[in-house]
Chain A
Amino acid sequence: MSQPVENQSIQPKRWVYLLPLGIFVGLVILFFIGLELNPRLIPSPLIGKPAPSFSLPRLHHPGEIFQETDLQGEISLLNIWATWCPSCKQEHPVLMQIAKANKAPIYGLYYKDDPEYGVEWLKNNGNPYRANAVDKDGSVGIEWGTYGTPETFIIDEKGIIQYKHVGPISWQDWKDKLLPKIQSLREKSDV
């Protein structure tokens, strides 16, 4: 007699049956977002930290030293590159344009390459860099967390790393990402 009432309490509410479907749909959405992410873009832990210290010979003047304090004083770019790196060569014309736009000086960290090749390459194709430091054995590259050249950092006037771009910069990247970052940093420092 009391059976029908008991029976109802045993039946879970209807939405419970939809729960697995809901979880499944949620996971599918999560995985789709995951597929869109680029695993090569690893967030740098250096953002917001002072530029790692280094002291290296300059590419064009091997007798002179280039160090991280040379990056201070104005907002600048540090581009890590080599002549053995095809994407760096692909990026080179954009760096030339950026240098021409004259928004921020570009410094280079010449990574694990023979200085002769670099000098030759810049002589033949134009030199967008204000100065280059030669990191022949790649140890300074490790300090900067380099894993895939080219990499470009935006460093503010106090020498703090504010942004990192991995891979060749396209003109679109410059207009949409790097230049706005530089401008917002400049506004902040002007205030």
Chain B
Amino acid sequence: MTSRSIAFLFFFFFSCQVIAEIAGFPFETEAEEQRFRELSTELRCLVCQNQSLADSNAGLAQDLRVELYEQVLSGNSNKQIIDFMTNRYGDFILYKPRFTLKTLFLWLTPITLFIIGVVTLICFSRKQGEYSTEQVSDEELNKIRSLIDSEDNKK
């Protein structure tokens, strides 16, 4: 492959979706714009549920982007803005579920299953290890050796 086609494939597969919807919101500082970008990708559009506020062009998403824009400009903290959204739309508006009693199962299941898997693996392999090394008596070992020797002698 030429370097040109490699470059083409790279840009083809790793190109990001251009977030066009957040254009038209002018900010004075880089930090504000950054905050707006982050929040609008963290919040879900409730109309097109698999899109963030930044991606969706639903009417409600546009309204919420305006709301978000005004709140960022007026200097509200990220927490204040997220609270504003969840107080009205519930936790569902957050792409990343919060760690609460209700979501405990959701958050802890993967790590719990992982730990169970690792512990099981260690237990099994350790026991098998014991079996293969320690359970063979000298007597048996000699037997095995003589068997191997006799096989070798045949050749």
Q: Residues of A at under 8 Å CB distance from B?
A: 3, 6-7, 10, 39-40, 42-46, 52, 112, 137-139, 141-148
Report the minimal beta-carbon distance from A75 to chain B, rounded to whole angstroms: 23
Contact flag A147-B89 (CB < 8 Å), given A39-B49, A138-B63: yes
Other 10 A-B pairs with CB < 8 A, given A42-B90, A142-B67, A147-B60: A10-B127, A42-B89, A43-B90, A45-B88, A46-B88, A138-B60, A142-B64, A142-B88, A147-B47, A148-B47
What are the 3 A-B residue pairs with the smallest beta carbon separation, nearest first? Answer: A147-B46, A145-B88, A45-B90
Query: Residue of B at shortest CB range from A39?
Result: B49
Whether a CB of chain A sits under 8 angstroms from the CB of B86 is yes
Q: A10-B128, A147-B47, A148-B46 are in contact. Are A42 and B88 (CB under 8 A)?
A: no
Question: In the docked arrangement, what's the CA distance between A42 and B63, Å?
Answer: 19
CB proximity to A under 8 Å, residues B77-99:
86-92
Cβ–Cβ contact A45 & B87, under 8 A: yes
Taking a contact as CB atoms under 8 Å apart, the answer to whether B46 and A3 are in contact is no
Asked whether A42 lies within 8 Å of B46 as measured between CB atoms, the reply is yes
What residues of chain A lie closer than 8 Å to B90, measured between beta carbons? 42-45, 145
B5 at the interface (CB under 8 A from A): no
Question: What is the CA–CA distance of A27 and B71 in the complex, to the nearest angstrom?
Answer: 42
Give the nearest-CB partner of A46 in chain B. Answer: B88
Q: Are B89 and A45 in contact (CB under 8 A)?
A: yes
Interface 0/1 of B108-152, CB less than 8 Å to A: 000000000000000000011001000100000000000000000
Q: Which residues of B contact A42 (CB under 8 A)?
A: 46, 89-90, 92
**Which residue numbers of B lie inside 8 Å of A, CB to CB?**
46-47, 49, 59-60, 63-64, 67, 86-92, 127-128, 131, 135
Q: What is the CA–CA distance of A7 and B128 in the complex, to the nearest angstrom?
A: 10
Q: Which chain A positions have C-beta within 8 A of B60?
A: 138, 146-147
For the complex formed, measure the closest distance between the CB of A169 and the CB atoms of chain B, giving whole angstroms: 20
Which of A42, A52, A144 has the most chain B CB within a 10 Å cutoff?
A42
Give min CB distance, A33 to chain B, whole Å.
Answer: 14
Is B63 touching A45 in the complex (CB atoms < 8 A)? no
Complex CA gap A141/B91 in Å reads 18
23 contacts between A and B (CB under 8 A): A3-B135, A7-B131, A10-B127, A39-B49, A42-B46, A42-B89, A42-B90, A43-B92, A45-B86, A45-B87, A45-B89, A45-B90, A45-B91, A46-B88, A138-B60, A139-B63, A142-B67, A143-B88, A144-B88, A145-B88, A146-B60, A147-B46, A148-B46
